[in-house]
Structure 1
Amino acid sequence: MTDEIRKTYLQAAEKAVHLLATEQVARRWETESVLPGMSVGGLAGHLARSVLQVEWFLDGRVVGAEPVSPVRYYARLADTSLPDSALNVGVRARSVETAAAGPAVVAEQARAAWVRLTQRLGMESADRRVAVLHRPGEEMLLDGYLQTRCVELAVHLDDLALSVDAPCRVPDAALAVAVDVLVAAARDRHGDQAVLHALARRERDVDQALRVL
C-alpha cells in the first residue's frame, strides 16, 4: 500500500505541476474560475497546496496523537456546499495567500516541491505521521494524508483545466483513490441506506448523500 499510494500521489501531483506552469493558467490568473467566488489564481493556489502542504506537514512537529483516517478527514466536514461557511472561507483565504506570489512563482514552488517529494517520500517509513497544521494537535499517517491529496488533486485538476480550457486527464489511479475515499466518507456521514438511494434511487436521495465536498 505504501509504495502504491505514494506513486499514485506523485503521478497526480506531476499533472498539477504541469498544468500550473501553462500559459493558459497564467493568462487567466485574475479571471473567474468555474468555482463561484474563486479566481483562476485562487484555484491554482489551492491546487498547488496539495503539493506544497505535503512538505509543510512532513516538517511539522508530531506528538503522537491518534491519527485521523482519510475517511474521517472528509466525513466530519460541515457545510461543504455553503460558499460562506467557515470551512470554505478558510479554504479560499489560504488559497489566495498562496496565489499572491503570482503564477510563475506558484508554478515553480510546486515544481520544486514535487521534485523533492519524489525523493523524500521513498525514504519515509510506512508508519510515518504528519501534523495537520491547519488543525493544531491533529495528525494523520502520511499515506492516509496522501490519499486526501489524491482527492484534492483529482477534483481540482478537473476544476482548473475546465477554468482555462486546457486538456488535462487525471491519472486513473488517483481517480480511483478519490472515489474510494469520498464514497467511504459518504457512507460514514449518511449511512449505507442513504448512499444506496443516491446510487440507485435518486428520487429518494433527500440528503444528496454522495455530495461530500
Structure 2
Amino acid sequence: MTEEIRKAYLLGAERAVQLLATEEVARCWDEESVLPGMTVGGLAGHLARSVLQVEWFLEGETVGADPVSPVRYYARLVGTSLPDSPLNVGVRARSEETAAAGPAAVAEQARAVWHRLAQRLDREPADRRVAVLHRPGEEMLLDGYLQTRCVELAVHLDDLELSVGVQNRTPEATLALAVDVLVAAARDRHGDQAVLHALARRERDAGQSLRVL
C-alpha cells in the first residue's frame, strides 16, 4: 500500500506543478478564483503547499505522539463550509503568504520540491512519521499525510483549473485515494445511515452527509 500511496501522491503533485507553471495561472494571478474570497494566486499558493508542506513536515521534529489518521484529520474539522470560520481564515492567510512570492517563484518552488520528493519518498520507511507543523505536538504517519495531500491536490486542481479555464485532469490514482479518504471521513463524522441516505436516498439527506470540506 505504501508504494501505491506514494505513487498516487507524486502523480498528483506532478500535475499540480504542471498547472502552476501555466501562462493562464500567471495571467489570472490577481483575479478572483472560483472560491469566494480567494484570488487565483491564493488558490495557487494553497495548491502549491500540498507539495511544499510535505518536505517541510519531513524536516519537522517528531516526539512520539499517537499518529492521527487521514480519516480523523478531516472528520474532526469544524467550519469547513463557512468562509469566515477560523479554519478557512487560517487557510487563506497561509495560502496568500505562499502566493506573495509571485507566480514564477511559486511554480519553481513547487517544481523543485516535487523533484526532491520523487527521490526522497522511495527512501522513507513505511513507519516514517511527520510533524504536523501548524498543529504543534501532532503527528501523522507519512503515508497517512500523503493521503490527505491527495485529497487537497484532487480538490484544488479542480478549483484552479476552473478558475483559469484550462483542462488538466487529476490522475485517476490520486482521485481514487481522495474519494476513499473523504467517504471514510463522512462515515466517521455522520455515521453509516446518514451516508447511505446521501448515496441512495438523497431526499432524506438533510445534513449533506457526504460533504466533508
Structure 1: 4+ residue segments shifted above 6 A: none
Superposition deviation, residue 119 in structure 1? 0.4
Aligned to 2:98: 98
Aligned to 1:150: 150
What is the CA deviation profile of residues 103-140 of structure 1, one whole-angstrom value per residue up to 9, with x for unaligned ones?
Answer: 00000000000000000000100000000000000000
Aligned to 2:83: 83
Matches within 5 A, 1:60-209: 60-209=60-209
Superposition deviation, residue 203 in structure 1? 1.0
What is the CA deviation profile of residues 167-189 of structure 1, one whole-angstrom value per residue up to 9, with x for unaligned ones?
Answer: 11000011100000000000000
C-alpha distance in 2 between matches for 1:73 and 1:174: 18
C-alpha distance in 1 between matches for 2:9 and 2:43: 19
C-alpha distance in 2 between matches for 1:126 and 1:48: 25
For normalisation by structure 1, the TM-score amounts to 1.00
Matches within 5 A, 1:32-47: 32-47=32-47
Unaligned runs of 5+ in 1: none
C-alpha distance in 1 between matches for 2:205 and 2:92: 29
Superposition deviation, residue 206 in structure 1? 1.0
C-alpha distance in 2 between matches for 1:101 and 1:130: 26
Superposition deviation, residue 79 in structure 1? 1.1
* Number of residues of Structure 1 aligned to a counterpart in Structure 2: 213
Please state whether the residue corresponding to 1:210 is helix, strand or coil.
Answer: coil
C-alpha distance in 1 between matches for 2:8 and 2:134: 24
Letter of the 1:99 partner, please give it.
A
For normalisation by structure 2, the TM-score amounts to 1.00
Letter of the 2:166 partner, please give it.
A
Cα RMSD, aligned residues only: 0.4
What is the CA deviation profile of residues 35-84 of structure 1, one whole-angstrom value per residue up to 9, with x for unaligned ones?
Answer: 01000000000000000000000000000000000000000000100000
Please state whether the residue corresponding to 1:123 is helix, strand or coil.
Answer: coil
Aligned to 2:4: 4
Unaligned runs of 5+ in 2: none
Letter of the 1:48 partner, please give it.
A
Identity over aligned residues, as a percent?
82
C-alpha distance in 1 between matches for 2:177 and 2:192: 19
C-alpha distance in 2 between matches for 1:79 and 1:26: 30
